[in-house]
Amino acid sequence: MKFKDPQKEEMISAGIDIGTSTTKLVISRFTLMNMAGGAHVPRIEIIDKQVIHRSPIYRTPLLSSTTIDIEKIEDLVKREYKKAGIEPKDIQTGAVIITGETATKTNAEVMLHQLSDHAGEFLVATAGPDLEGIIAAKGSGAYEHSKDTGKAIANIDIGGGTANVAVYKSGRLCGTCTLHIGGRLIEFRDNKIHSISPPVQNLMQQWGSRMAERQSPNPTEIKQVTDFMAGVIARMLKRSLTHEDQVLLLGHEPNWIEDIDAIMFSGGISECIYQFENGSTGYDDIGLMLAASIKECTSLTQWTWVKPQETVRATVLGAGMQTTEISGATIEADNRKLPIKNLPVYQVRFEDDFKLEINRFSKRMKEALELYDPTREGQNFAVYFSELPYLRFREIDEFASTILNAMKQKPNPSQPLVLVLDRDYAKVLGQTIKRMDAAQSVICIDQIKVENGDYLDIGQVLETDVVPVIIKTLTFQK
């Protein structure tokens, strides 16, 4: 898309959420603008985001209880793109996220990467319960509420298979937690219990309950389960999960230290509570009963309840509108090598004297190779330099030379060097490396904060001389 104004640009973003129960898609338009004055270094920011298409809420298509119907998912996406009047080539950023129990399906990873490759130029694959909670908190409005009020707010996104919790205070992520709590953990068919998820089966075993599949459901027993789930949410928010509660914990314990001031619910269960969408009733699972238990739970009344901006669409809106960051405008990037996806990040902190740090850099790169490419197959990675001191031109030269020498350990010299800096040295460092070795491909960006364990996706250079960047995790539940 071409623009006359070099200071302004638009790009199209897509968000696709493939969840335990439902699949949704949104298309958005972002406006980018240089917010610095004419005599200053350009500072490109996203100044406006507008949703231009929302799909209906589809039931997630499955071939079996363990396999996603990839063909139907792809047809669904193509159909919605056609309705929106866009082509995959028009998509310049965004994310496809696989959430809840769907991330456990046997072909989840294959489907996610296949879809992200076919559905857009820079539509990236994301998965993992912590990331899901973070994205949902941004889509629901909890993140903005924390920024506006300065209070600690927990967003509890409950779908078909999981409750993903993210706590924000003053716009800062404090921590996350994920629970096996969701509407489809017990399903019904023909007035019988059709399925009970393994976590709930384990809970039943703890209780000595005889509830089983193919039985007629006992409303008292079902309510005991949903009431217990509501109580677990309250104890999780207070960071006081009991031994009995552990059966519903997915991954790590609540890891924030702040006391929570307010709570917000999003996801399909939130839709059962608030009914934002038309025609969203009629379920063959415990969703409505779980919503009722949450509303009736006295332990949850100790916090202020804040109504979400979005319920069942929180995650897809977060994926489409809140995952993209913009690099600094003073960067050096070989556009022939972009977009580039799924680069693990290795962080190098300049905690000591500059000379000491660059003298040990070769050893650090050996550690990075052992971590990310132990069999020397050519897995590329990004190096993030944080806490950089003020550097003069002589030190930039020394820095560039050190990087080039250390990177000779990599088995594939044709790979681009991907460098991320926390200070505005990207252009001068990248150009210095190119001057020293003209054959070396370099992608050197700044004004992005990442850390060890993150994955990095970098899109093509835009008209405003910035690149869209998405920072994520890629964790598939087993």
pLDDT tens digits for range 285-295 = 999 999 999 99
What is the length of the chain? 478
Of the candidates 136, 142, 140, 158, the one whose C-alpha atom is nearest the C-alpha of residue 289 is: 158
Phi, psi of 122 (to 5 degrees): -140, 55
The answer to whether the CB of 135 falls within 8 A of the CB of 324 is no
- The angle formed by the CA atoms of residues 378, 382 and 386, to the nearest 5 degrees, is 150
> Angle of helix 142-149 relative to helix 129-140, nearest 10 degrees?
60
C-alpha–C-alpha distance, residues 46 and 65, integer Å: 41
Beta-carbon neighbour count of residue 168 at 10 Å?
26
Cis peptide bond upstream of 339, omega within 30? yes
What tokens were used for 344? Answer: 């693990």
Alpha helices in 4-128 (DSSP H): 70-84, 108-118
Of the candidates 181, 146, 148, the one whose C-alpha atom is nearest the C-alpha of residue 263 is: 146
The answer to whether the CB of 162 falls within 8 A of the CB of 244 is no
Enumerate residues 6+ apart whose C-beta is below 8 A from 274: 265, 307, 308, 311
In DSSP terms, 176 is beta-bridged to 166
Query: How much is the pLDDT for 131?
Result: 80
Give residue-wise pLDDT tens across range 463-473: 888 888 888 75
Query: How much is the pLDDT for 80?
Result: 95
Positive or negative torsion for Cα 324, 328, 333, 335 = positive
47 vs 164, 169, 217, 325, CA distance in Å?
A: 29, 23, 52, 12
- Give the percent of the chain with pLDDT over 90: 48
Give residue-wise pLDDT tens across range 427-469: 999 999 999 999 999 999 988 888 776 788 898 888 888 888 8
Helix (H) or strand (E) run with residue 31 in it: strand 22-34
pLDDT for residue 38 is more than 80:
no
Query: How much is the pLDDT for 278?
Result: 63
Beta-carbon neighbour count of residue 377 at 10 Å?
8
Contacts made by residues 5-10, CB under 8 angstroms, sequence distance 24+: 6/463, 6/464, 7/33, 7/34, 7/42, 7/464, 8/32, 8/33, 8/34, 8/464, 9/33, 9/462, 9/463, 9/464
Q: Which domains does the chain have, with CATH numbers?
A: 8-127+319-324 (3.30.420.40), 142-308 (3.30.420.40), 332-460 (no CATH)
Q: Which of 59-63, 73-77, 108-112, 428-432 shows the lowest per-residue confidence on average (mean pLDDT)?
A: 108-112
